[in-house]
Amino acid sequence: MGLFDNIKNYVTGGAAEVKLELESATLIEEQLLKLTIAARPSSDTIHAKKLYLEVKALESSSTKNVRYQKDYVVESEIQINEGNEREWTFEVELPPEAPATHIGKHFSLEWGVKAGLDMGGKDPDSGWVRFVLNKEMDYSIKNS
């Protein structure tokens, strides 16, 4: 790979392709998010400090507020050789206080998960993959 390709990948995060798939995009009462992450180099062998996962619940109207966020390290010190692909399965246990998905008329509370490779420059990542958490919430506790 030439110098210009290296610079391009540094800026765009194009050194690898990262995919994230959920076993189910809808969680009903259960709090366990099961997922598979796959990564492969776009061309040359890649080295990453770690493969990480971000889980986030975002309240969104004209403002955006993070209502829950947790980062996980799936694996550290990764090398994937040119032409190879690696796959990881991972489970995220959401805490009992994790807020349920809420779709109002003018605002929403939505969940998303993203996997990324920590590399020099812009990290190659899967982009945000949305999921739904359907469960009953008890907001009276805070008020009592």
Partner 1 sequence: MGLFSKIKNYITGGAAEVSVVFENPKTDGQEPMRLFVVANARDSCKIKNVYLEIRGMETYKKRETRTSTDSNGNVTTTTHDVTTHHKHFEKKMVLDEDVQMQEGEERKWLGEFDLPTDALPTYHGKDCFMKWEVFAGLDMPGNDPDSGWVEFFIQKEMNYDINNTNGAF
- CA–CA dist 97, 80 (Å, integer): 37
Contact positions with partner 1 (CB under 8 A) in 90-109: 99-109
Q: Does 67 bind partner 1 (CB under 8 A)?
A: yes
Of 31-39, 43-51, 58-66, 86-94, the segment contacting partner 1 by CB under 8 A is 58-66
From 7, 25, 32, 73, residue interacting with partner 1 (rule: CB under 8 A): 25
Nearest distance from C-beta of residue 64 to partner 1, angstroms: 7
Binding window for partner 1 (CB under 8 A); candidates: 12-20, 38-46, 85-93, 134-142:
134-142
How far apart are the C-alpha atoms of 68 and 94, rounded to whole Å? 10
Rounded to whole angstroms, the Cα distance separating 99 from 69 reads 11
142 binds partner 1 (CB under 8 A): yes
State the number of binding residues for partner 1 (CB under 8 A): 40
Identify the CA nearest to 17 among candidates 89, 123, 120, 130. 123
Per CB under 8 A, does 53 bind partner 1? no
Query: What residue type is assigned to position 5 of the chain?
Result: D
Q: Are 88 and 116 in contact (CB under 8 A)?
A: no
